[in-house]
Structure 1
Amino acid sequence: MALFLAGERQSWIFVFKCLLALYLTAWLSMLLQLQQPATAMITVAIVMHPQRGMVLAKSFYRAIGTAAGSLFALLLMAIFPQQSELLVLCLSLWVGLCSGGAVLHRNFMAYGFVLAGYTAAVVILPAVSDPHRIFDSAMLRVSEVMLGIVVAALVSDIVWPEDVRAALRRTEREHYEDFIAFARESLSGKMPRTQLEQAHLRCVRAAVQLEDMRASVIFEDPQARVRSSRMRLLNLRYMAAATSIQSLLHLIHRLERSQHGRTARALMQLYAPVGDALASTATLTTRLDACQAQLPTLAAQLRATLRQQPDLLLQFDSGATLLQRFAGELRDFVALDASLRDTPGRLRGATERVVFKRSNDRGAALIAATRTFLTMAGLGAFWLATDWPSGTTAMLLATLFSGLLATMSTPVAATTNTWVGFALGAVAAYVSSFCLLPGGDGFTMLVLGTLPLLMIGPYLTTRNATLPGVGAGYTLGFVLMLALKNPMVYDPEHFINEALASLFGLMITGTAFMVMPAVVGSRWLRRRQMQQLRRQVQRAATAPLPGLLYAFESGNRDLFHQIVQHTRHGSAESRSLMSWGLAIHECGRALLELRQDLQHHALPVRVRASSLRAVQALAQLYDLPGAEQWNRADHAVERAIVQARRALPRARTSCHPVLSHLLQLRNALRDDESALAPYIATAAKSTPSR
């Protein structure tokens, strides 16, 4: 009951803030003699969010989209002032491109693209028959939108503000503690592979969630903007450390399965000081520094127990190198986390510039752009052919929702829910407009005549998990059909025509998604994304090294997250995806480290040449998986290992790290529990003597 009451309290606070912003916007619009207060109110309805950082982020991108759309509308009308057909055709193309841009980008940046298309339509369509109105129309629309943005931001910032910053700190702390606990508890080496896969999935979701929240919190907090680069670097160091420990645990598991228990136990003993350091989070950086200092000595002692078995000794050296890398990355991650928790005055020093690489599919964007273009062109042709007075309203609704719903995996269901909500909102607006408002006078009566019915929309929005889209559709339908003007006009016939046109536009949008289904979350897109994910290994093998580590770590996780969120948990497809994700992360990171070794060490010619061939063979294997490609990659890696072992006595300093990473790649290649297992079995059957 306490949780229910707390949830209801938060819901009604949001409803109050939303209504306050709506009515304050309406009052200011009328005071400033703006032509269509409804446009400003619609802006408020769209950008309002329980957290003020989200409101500011949405407002920022809406402002950019509004400005871009208005400028394009002015340019387009200047080019085609008397050619309505060409004007509508070019507008449809622009809206389609904006819809494709929305699919290519994430979060509220996508929303900016949607608004760029919507604003161009809002400015152009009413002025098609009178081009001289285009500049006034653009200025009025921009003024109304900006007023709504400013009021929504002020109300969200002043009235019971709820910060994203607090949620970000809480979420970051939860993920930090979860990772430290995972690193501490995984030292036994007995963690099942399924548990490792779930840990990898948690890491992926955490990394993407933290980046999304960071992108919003910078709008509400000056200190967050100052620390933005450090927060992003913290996230990327977290990803790097997570990849290293998962690779180490995989190595220990493989050694145990291949009857190399002594080497596995030696590595776990080497890992023990790290576990002891993680026993408490107090002064963790200092303890990890001490742990790093003692690892070489302990590694030498444990290595002495394996001297009679050269192969096991090499495996131990590979694991020790991996462990030392993890310990260093963990220490850097913990130290940066500690610095971010310091007071602003104690934050010292600059940090490297890093980016969180987003992965997108241009095919999905092209399909969305084509669908939206055909929808808008069809509606535009129908409007021009019939001279339907409310045709522009239908086009506006289609413009807005074609872009907004293009990023969803179930746009037809979302359109249906929005259509229902819009219809209910239109009915409520009719009751207010023609039953409650005509008998009153003044702004107070306007509030009293609309408040009981308008508050339903924001409240339904807080129940979006159970009624997705209905609340937003209701609020939009009520505000749009109420159509507050200066002065107010009561015309039932016009009201009904506009309502039918709006519902028709939504219906056409839903039909377009049925004819050209959305590819977000589809099997076709997942196959393309899986191919793109595998090609991340090729990127790790060929892309320029500066900045590649963080681009690889973040790009992989962002792409993996896109695929996994549309895959049923526990299904065969989900298990296959998890297996591929782990293999790609481990192999790609090992290739990247190997390339670093090749670049920074003076190696014998044969070692360098054979290592480069191994890198190329592995890139080809993941680009086009198959038994033949696996066989070539395995032979290439084996030859590189032989060359590195031969050169080891005379060039230990340079060849030792190369050999460690080659061994790690061979272990990953021959892992019979990985995504490569089917190709291993096929290759073994084709070469029985091996």
Structure 2
Amino acid sequence: MKRQHAIKPTADSHRQWSVMLPTLSPAIRDWVSSDGLIWLHLLKTATAGLLALGIAMLLDLQQPRIAMTTVFVLMQPFSGMVLAKSFYRILGTVVGTIAALVLGALFVQQPELYMLGMIGWVSACIAAAVRYRHFRWYGLVLAGYTAVLIGIPNVMVPHDLFLAALTRAAEVAVGIVCSSAVSALIVPQRSSLALRRALHIRYTNITAFAADVLGRGIERGEFERRFANLVDEIVGFEATRTFAAFEDPAMRSRSQHLGRLNGEFMDVCTRLHALHQLLKRLRLGGPSRIVDAITPYFHELSGLLGATQDTNTDASRVAAGLRLFQASLPRRVRETRRPLEAAPAESLADFDTAAELLYRFVDEWIRYSETYVSLARRKPEAERRTTGRYVSKTNGFAVAFTFARSAAVMAIVSWFWIATDWPSGGMAVIGAALACALTSTAPNASKMAVQMAVGTVLATMTGYLFTCYVYPNVDGFPLLGAMLAPVLALGAFIASRKLLAGYGIGFSVFFCLLAGPDNVVTYAPDLLINNGIAITASLLLAAIVFAVVFPADMPWLIERIEGDLRAQVVSACMDELPGLNQRFQSSIHDLASQLRMLLTRRSRHRRDALRWMLVTLEVGHAMIDLRNEVARAGYAPALHSRWSSSLVRTCDDLARLFKRPDARALERSLVSVRSATWVAQDVLATVHADRDKRHDLQRILSCLHFIRTALLDKDAPFKAR
């Protein structure tokens, strides 16, 4: 189960409740749209858990508590999230069941070989889950620990394995159906509504951010922090879009439209970063004449963006205002440039590059705004252009590291169980598998495992009270449900808190697993305590291994993910152009998000990783722009003998620089960019009389100049290596 996020009230949820209860006072309405949503989630979770327990008991299944446990593993605030996880849980459960049966058939009464096969299977599933992530993570994790839940209790009694597998599958199915039905039918909180609200907030935030960057400039630390938050939004948007597709046919039919919107948002963010970097360099070392000449345009653009911040986001009005600004911009820039033509070539290149970036930023913002507006229409406009799909990449070493970490934890626990014949050793193995699975994508796996261990201790103590004092004194399911409801709701509440999620997960899952009622309740508090100790010990062992033996922020692992990040510039220089921009940007943001999860907040490694991400995004995107412009200038090779060779050398040297950054590679890249600039200037002088060709060469020169300034930036991480 991925760590759940805090339940955030949305304007869409408020409207749902307002329609249902139009006579409520403003104070009650405010409560309904904030704390009321939390209570609603707790009510639905407890209801689904008790419903699953009751149905499993009615069907006389062997362990109804497994059905209740399933609900707590599945339940999320939004129905689309539950439906997505339920779908993949079914697939994972089927595959895990088959794996348990196959392993049981291959290694009959051979516990050492059986455990070796089980460790390999579970570790492979968890590693694959880390590789594919998002909603697919859940199905792969389920395929691993479902096999453990079925196979471990029956490792020495293989004749019971087939019946146990069928029974467990039925119990899990009951939990899936109940959680999905309650979430989707009882006051459903739609992921699609949350997605629309997120798009609204994102548009407002990027508008305010752009107005600040263009208008007054912001400090490097603040820019990096706010830009990193935008990266997280890009990655989170893809997961939410997937969840929404499970519950809303309209969102499913507009999947390409939403993908294009996210791609255009990435374009806007990247261009805004490029503008920020250029403005910073001009203000720090550029000629005052150039700065004074270009600054009014940025202030005017900032005013256009900032004027709508206090309204309800009239994005169409923003786009209309920017279209007027865009229409007059070329003429005004030419008039501003004429008095500067006597300035040094380097200064004039600064002005031309700033103007070109401004053109591109305005054009991309207009496209983004129009796509955002068209999303609200019943029939969105036809696709203007084909965009590649969002690409998520996980480093192969990170996947192998996850496999080794999970195998090590499970191997230690399994060896101890077999060597000592510990009666509760099987439960310890189950706890170890769950710890490895549930923490596989956690930002701090060791911390989460410790939280789960504390939650397990509380679950064991609560289970002891229920076993000794509650279950013997209740008669009938209604009274049993009344006694369980507060405990179940408490676990769900803690699990919904972002900083306390581990405690809630450990408490909810292991209370149900250890002390959940069955049709025939076994009053064995000693067994309960022994099993609780076994699970707690396995969780603490996992925490130690995660922190000491396999820490996620190991320098060699971070360096390899950073290597993958820098390798995207190699792709920008070498890969085929169709769809390259979308692949490049989505890969960059996805890898940067992984690094932010692995690295401790406010650490030097985290800052270095973010700066590598920024310079990679900056240079790689400029290279894609350069290659697109060169492709349009097909006439240039005939005008200069060194045209093609100079550009190929530039691409090769930049690729080598980002592959193995050092001072020598940096110097070689600067020489190549300068040589390509001289060649482009010669071609520009040749075609100066042709307006269209002149503009082509000016855009190419702007790209080359921007790449050179990025390589020379004193804040770039090249010189730190």
Q: Which moved more, 1:28-37 or 1:593-602?
A: 593-602
Pick closer, same or farther for the CA change 1:107–1:304 going to 2, 3 Å: same
Q: Where do residues 302-313 of structure 1 align in structure 2 (5 Å cutoff)?
A: 302-309=336-343, 311=345, 312-313=347-348
Structure 1 match to 2:128 = 101
Q: 1:340, CA displacement in angstroms?
A: 0.8
Which residue pairs with 1:477 in the alignment?
Answer: 510
Distance between the aligned counterparts of 1:98 and 1:414, measured in 2?
20
Are the aligned partners of 1:432 and 1:450 in contact in 2 as well (CA < 8 Å)?
A: no
Does residue 87 (structure 1) correspond to residue 122 (structure 2)? The answer is no
Q: Alpha-carbon deviation of 1:483?
A: 4.2
What is the alpha-carbon distance in structure 2 between the residues aligned to residue 606 and residue 324 of structure 1? Answer: 29
Residue 80 of structure 1 deviates from its aligned partner by: 3.2
Q: Which digits, 9 at most, give the CA deviation of each residue in 1:171-192, with x for residues without a partner?
A: 2212212222333344447544
Query: Shift of the alpha carbon at 1:29?
Result: 0.7
Residues 2-401 of structure 1: matches in 2 within 5 Å?
8-81=35-108, 83-188=110-215, 190-271=217-298, 274-275=301-302, 277-278=304-305, 279-280=307-308, 281=314, 282-309=316-343, 311=345, 312-342=347-377, 344-345=378-379, 348=382, 352-401=386-435
Q: Deviations over 1:54-99 (max 9, x none)?
A: 3223323322221221222233334334544322211110111122
CA distance in 1: counterparts of 2:498 and 2:341, whole angstroms:
64
Decide whether the 8 Å contact of 2:387 with 2:582 is kept in 1: no
Structure 1: distance between partners of 2:623 and 2:330: 24
Question: Any idea what SS the aligned residue of 2:76 has?
Answer: coil
Distance 2:380 2:617 in 1: 36
* Amino acid paired to 1:406: S
Letter of the 1:91 partner, please give it: M
Verify: 1:498 aligned to 2:531, yes or no: yes
Counterpart position of 2:21: none
Q: CA deviation at 1:592?
A: 1.3
Residue type matched to 1:661 in 2?
Answer: C
Residue 630 of structure 1 corresponds to: 666
Bigger mean CA offset, 582-591 vs 209-218: 209-218
Question: How far did 1:297 drift?
Answer: 2.6
Read off the aligned partner of 1:431 and give its amino acid letter. Answer: L
Partner deviation per Cα, 1:207-229 (whole Å, 9 max, x = no partner): 22322322322223222222222
Quickly say closer, same or farther: Cα 1:289–1:639, change in 2 above 3 A: same
Please list every run of 5 or more consecutive structure 1 residues that lacks an aligned counterpart in the other structure.
680-690
- Whichever residue aligns with residue 83 of structure 2, its letter is L
Alpha-carbon distance in 2 for matches of 1:568, 1:387: 40
CA contact (8 A) 2:65 2:512 kept: yes
Give the conservation status (yes or no) of the 8 Å contact 2:573–2:655. Answer: yes
| Alpha-carbon separation, structure 1, partners of 2:648 and 2:487 | 69
Letter in 1 for 2:515: L
Partner SS for 2:519: coil
Query: For residues 5 and 306 of structure 1, what CA distance do their matches in structure 2 show?
Result: 61
Q: CA deviation at 1:41?
A: 0.8
Find the partner of 1:424 among 437, 452, 458.
458
Give the superposition deviation at 1:293. 3.1
Q: Is the 8 A contact 1:541 1:619 kept in 2?
A: yes
Written as runs of structure 1 = structure 2, the 5 A alignment for 1:608-627 is 608-627=644-663
Aligned residue-pair number: 676
| Alpha-carbon RMSD | 2.9
SS of 1:218 mapped into structure 2: helix
Give the TM-score taking structure 2 as reference length.
0.86
Alpha-carbon deviations, 1:400-453, whole Å to 9, x = none? 112212333433332232222212212222222232222443322322443454
Distance 1:266 1:199, change over 3 A: farther
CA contact (8 A) 1:534 1:622 kept: yes
Return 5+ residue gaps in structure 2 as ranges. 1-26, 309-313
Q: Matches of 2:349 and 2:489 in 1, distance apart?
A: 70
The answer to whether the 8 Å contact 1:33/1:486 transfers is: yes
Identity %: 32
User: Is the 2:595–2:606 Cα contact (8 Å) retained in structure 1?
Assistant: no
Contact between 2:444 and 2:598, CA under 8 Å: does it hold in 1?
A: no
SS at match of 1:407: coil
Instruction: Say which is worse superposed, 586-595 or 482-491, in terms of deviation.
Output: 482-491
Task: Report the Cα distance in structure 1 between the residues aligned to 2:304 and 2:466, rounded to whole angstroms.
Answer: 67
Q: Compared with structure 1, are the counterparts of its residues 150 and 15 closer, same or farther at alpha carbon in structure 2 (3 Å cutoff)?
A: same
TM-score normalised by structure 1 residue count: 0.90
Q: Distance in 2 between matches of 1:235 and 1:468?
A: 29
Q: Is the 8 A contact 2:109 2:157 kept in 1?
A: no
Asked whether the equivalents of residues 318 and 661 of structure 1 are also in contact (C-alpha less than 8 Å), the reply is yes
